[in-house]
Amino acid sequence: MILLLYAVTVCVGSFLVFLLQPMVGKAILPLYGGTPAIWNSCMLFFQAVLLAGYAYAHFATSKLKLSRQAAIHLCLLLTAFLVLPVSIRADAVPPSTVSPPLFLLARLLPAVGLPFFLVASTAPMLQKWFMATGHPQGRDPYFLYAASNVGSLAALIAYPLLFEPLMALSMQSLSWVLVYGLFLLLMGLCAWFLWRGSCDRGAGEAVEYEQIAGDPPKLRRRLYWLFAAFVPSSLMLGATVHITTSVAVMPLFWVLPLALYLLTFIITFSRKPLLRHAWMTRLMPLVVLPCGAMIFVKINELEWFVLPIHLLLFFVVAMVCHGELVRTRPSGAYLTEFYFWMAAGGVLGGLFNAIVAPLAFNRVLEYPLVLVVACLFLPERRQWKKGFKWLDAALPAALLVLAGGTYLLLNGFDMGGSRLAFILVFGVPAVLAFCLHERPVAFALSLLVVLGAVGYFSEFRGGRVLHVSRNFFGVKRVMVDSRGSMHTLTHGATVHGSQFIQPEKRKEPTSYYHRSGPVGDLFIALSEREKEKRVAVIGLGAGAVASYAEPDLQFTFYEIDPQVEEIARDTRFFDYLSLPDGQCEVVIGDGRLAIEKAPAESFDMILLDAFSSGTIPVHLLTKEAVQSYLAKLAPGGLLAFHISNHFVNLIPALSAIASELGLRLLEREDQYAFYGKEAAHYAVMLPSTSHFQFLEQHPVWASVSSAETTRVWTDEYSNLAGLMKW
């Protein structure tokens, strides 16, 4: 009975912890335009509060009597109702002078800090209480940590499958409060059994932990726990950002790596693990070499095939690191300290990925670098003879010379970008690196050489990199293609505009904005209006839309990332904004929030061309957002959406909103592509009084019927996963 009660309570508490995380992450996404880095900042907050909770649990169970622990903790749990239900408003404009992660942390702390802190502290505290009940299995309560992660995993599965598609955010928050009430009741029962057990033992307040303590852990062992927890935490965030940058920022792709993270805890901390630690250490070298190379492969080349590769890579490495935590765990007397160091490692991973890496690297290097560090946790199955330790560094150095020399030789014969070059520069060193997998240091350094070689090869294969910059919103690259005739701006794997280098072609719109594509049609239709025209574009990119400038046409671009404006205005790369015709203004800020400051009925056309990862941020596509855009349109104006995407079909969502607001929806999917032009998909919402006869009568623009099966997206509800092109 007692065992079941404690297991269920731990499970429910962890369910609350990991149900709150994606719910809060989704609520706060609009603050910075839905950028993938928001999840890293949220995870840093949750990891930091978790660490505080574990520190509180360690202090309470070490310094306070059991009866006082239980009384204080129950009183604190009751006080959390003062800030419930959780509510986060995402309508404030973030100040430009404050670091985005710090601003997010400041918003999260008063909203969810107290309830998350209290629930997060429960797992280690209950395990310590369980030891004190005198139950036969209380001497080694670590199995309850596996139960804790079962609850966490259940929450992560339930959120994208049940909570997100069926409930608005306000209803999700209310449901969390109801489960919290159940949790409080279970905690009261656990405390009652604890008090009753203490009374039954008479003067003995609890089992003396020191009787089963053993020697206290040394500093070296504590640091080992710290870094064994740091590596999976950092890799989880790196894999999440890599996936969401290429596909879409939504809870489903937050949940997948986090669910695997928890699954590794469940497996490794169980009494009889399904996957043995020795198996995973044997498997890891076979996985990290080929899968690690996929970090540098653009996801749109292999589409969905790349997702399981990154998840497999993360799962195997996390299994090895968490297996090392289990292997080196202390006795139950030092349980709360052990969890504290684990939580500290998690915070260290969050700090590294969310704060340090964007400042230290202009590329996403934290993911492969931490993968290299992970190899140091492999067991050393074969040692060098005395005096030969220098080979740990010498052999990887020789591998570097081999890879670099091979590439330079092939490049001299103009074969640097060929498949043969890839095989020789990556394949041969990878095989040689695998031969060193029984020596962790040599293998880790060899992996660094291999990943560096394939990263260099991949970056320069499609042309020459002219500029790289990175901030909270991601990595931006400007490249000149292999023909030497076009500059292209990319963010992750997404093209954000290009321009011909030749002076006579520089005014020609390219990529998704070609004159023969949907955007060309939009500006032909706009030319039907004889008065001076104003166009708002949410999303700047390289500024290619400005190539349609005319003397009577004024552009206002809304861009959330200041670095994008700097690149677009740098005439070494792009000069669309400097073309003589027309007027171009750039407003920095989230497009939806910034355009609300414009006068009513001030634009003849609003074009949503903002892409975070591979799709438009969801908060720009809700019914309330569309209503705010319509308020800024002049009578008979046009609202257009750039929805080109490999992974998501946004037409049903737009159709449902158009039907709800009494608008007509037209779409054009142009699949015709050639050098300088990309296939493009656009949709247009037209009011009943529209004057754009060109679009309505053009055969390539198809009318879209109402999507009755799709629920209207609002600021409270959206379900991007339901529109994925599986």
Q: Say how far apart CA 670 and CA 680 lie, in whole Å.
A: 5
- pLDDT tens digits, residue range 56-74? 988 888 888 877 888 899 9
Burial of 41 (0-12, 13-18, 19+ CB in 10 A): buried
For the chain, percent of residues with pLDDT exceeding 70: 89
What string of DSSP letters covers 214-259? -SPPPHHHHHHHHHHHHHHHHHHHHHHHHHHHHS--SHHHHHHHHH
Q: Averaging pLDDT over each range in 14-23, 132-141, 415-424, which range is the top one?
A: 14-23
pLDDT band at 203 (very low <50, low <70, confident <90, very high): very low
Q: Is 641 helix (H, G, I), strand (E, B) or coil?
A: strand
Q: Say how far apart CA 236 and CA 591 lie, in whole Å.
A: 30
Encoded tokens for 669: 């999917």
- pLDDT tens digits, residue range 612-622? 666 778 888 89
Q: Say how far apart CA 310 and CA 641 lie, in whole Å.
A: 31
Of 526, 508, 513, the closest CA to residue 681 belongs to 513
Q: Say how far apart CA 435 and CA 675 lie, in whole Å.
A: 44
| The 3-state secondary structure of 317-367, one letter per residue | HHHHHHHHHHHCCCCHHHHHHHHHHHHHHHHHHHHHHHHHHHHHCCCCCHH
Assess contact for 638 and 684: CB atoms under 8 A.
yes
Angle ∠(271,274,277) on CA atoms, nearest 5:
85
pLDDT band at 204 (very low <50, low <70, confident <90, very high): very low
Assess contact for 377 and 440: CB atoms under 8 A.
yes
Q: Say how far apart CA 315 and CA 275 lie, in whole Å.
A: 12
Give the Å distances, CA to CA, from 287 to 292, 310, 313, 379, 549. 8, 10, 6, 16, 52
What string of DSSP letters covers 197-223? HHHHTTT--S--GGGGT-SPPPHHHHH
Torsions phi, psi for 164 (to 5 deg): -65, -50
Residue 206 pLDDT exceeds 80: no
Q: What is the amino acid identity at position 620?
A: L
CATH fold group of domain 490-723 = Rossmann fold (3.40.50)
Q: What is the pTM of this model?
A: 0.83
CA torsion, ordered 326, 331, 337, 338, to nearest 10 deg: 0
pLDDT band at 373 (very low <50, low <70, confident <90, very high): very high
Residue 223 pLDDT exceeds 60: yes
What residues does 554 pair with on adjacent strands? 534, 583
Residue 143 pLDDT exceeds 70: yes
Of residues 566 and 243, more confidence is placed in 566
Q: Say how far apart CA 300 and CA 614 lie, in whole Å.
A: 10
E strands, 419-508, are: 463-471, 474-481, 486-491, 494-500
Q: Is 601 helix (H, G, I), strand (E, B) or coil?
A: coil
Q: Say how far apart CA 527 and CA 644 lie, in whole Å.
A: 24
Question: Chain centroid to CA 375: how far?
Answer: 24
Residue 237 pLDDT exceeds 70: yes
Assess contact for 148 and 343: CB atoms under 8 A.
no
pLDDT value of position 119: 92
pLDDT value of position 68: 85
Find the length of the chain. 726
Assess contact for 499 and 542: CB atoms under 8 A.
yes
Residue-averaged pLDDT of the chain: 84
pLDDT band at 515 (very low <50, low <70, confident <90, very high): very high
2-205+215-360 and 490-723 have identical folds: no
pLDDT value of position 207: 43
- pLDDT tens digits, residue range 254-281? 788 888 998 998 898 887 888 899 999 9
Q: Say how far apart CA 112 and CA 114 lie, in whole Å.
A: 6
Q: Say how far apart CA 6 and CA 142 lie, in whole Å.
A: 12
Q: Is 675 helix (H, G, I), strand (E, B) or coil?
A: coil
pLDDT value of position 586: 93
Residues 6+ apart with CB under 8 A from 572: 466
What string of DSSP letters covers 695-712? HHH-TTSEE----TTSPP
- pLDDT tens digits, residue range 472-504? 888 899 999 888 899 999 887 788 899 999 988
Residue 197 pLDDT exceeds 70: no
Question: Chain centroid to CA 465: how far?
Answer: 25
Neighbours of 491 (CB within 10 A): 22
Alpha helices in 29-99 (DSSP H): 37-63, 66-79
Residue 50 pLDDT exceeds 60: yes
Q: Which long-range contacts (CB under 8 A, 24 or more apart) does 574-577 make?
A: 574/487, 574/489, 574/497, 574/499, 574/542, 574/543, 575/499, 575/506, 576/497, 576/499, 576/542, 576/543, 576/544, 576/545, 576/546, 576/547, 577/543, 577/546
Residue 202 pLDDT exceeds 50: no
Assess contact for 625 and 260: CB atoms under 8 A.
no
When the candidates are 2.40.30.10, 1.10.10.10, 1.25.40.80, 1.20.1250.20, the CATH number that belongs to 2-205+215-360 is 1.20.1250.20
What string of DSSP letters covers 50-67? HHHHHHHHHHHHHHS-HH
Question: Chain centroid to CA 203: how far?
Answer: 53
Q: Say how far apart CA 628 and CA 640 lie, in whole Å.
A: 14
Assess contact for 531 and 518: CB atoms under 8 A.
no
- pLDDT tens digits, residue range 304-353? 567 788 899 999 999 999 999 999 988 877 888 898 999 999 999 989 99
Q: Rounded to a whole number, what is the distance in angstroms from the first to the last CA of the chain?
A: 45
Could you check whether the bond before residue 85 is cis, i.e. omega within 30 degrees of 0? yes
Q: Say how far apart CA 706 and CA 115 lie, in whole Å.
A: 42
The helix (run of H) or strand (run of E) holding residue 303 is: none
Residues 6+ apart with CB under 8 A from 478: 465, 466, 467, 468, 487, 488, 489, 567, 573
Burial of 332 (0-12, 13-18, 19+ CB in 10 A): buried
Between helices 2-28 and 122-132, what is the axis angle to 10°? 170
Q: Say how far apart CA 617 and CA 592 lie, in whole Å.
A: 10
Q: Say how far apart CA 719 and CA 710 lie, in whole Å.
A: 9
pLDDT band at 646 (very low <50, low <70, confident <90, very high): confident
Residues 6+ apart with CB under 8 A from 102: none
Domain boundaries, the chain: 2-205+215-360, 391-461, 490-723
Of 414, 571, 545, the closest CA to residue 487 belongs to 571
Residue 199 pLDDT exceeds 80: no
Alpha helices in 121-142 (DSSP H): 122-132
Residues 6+ apart with CB under 8 A from 390: none
Of 248, 91, 39, the closest CA to residue 589 belongs to 91
Assess contact for 2 and 135: CB atoms under 8 A.
yes
Q: What is the mean pLDDT of residues 710-724?
A: 85
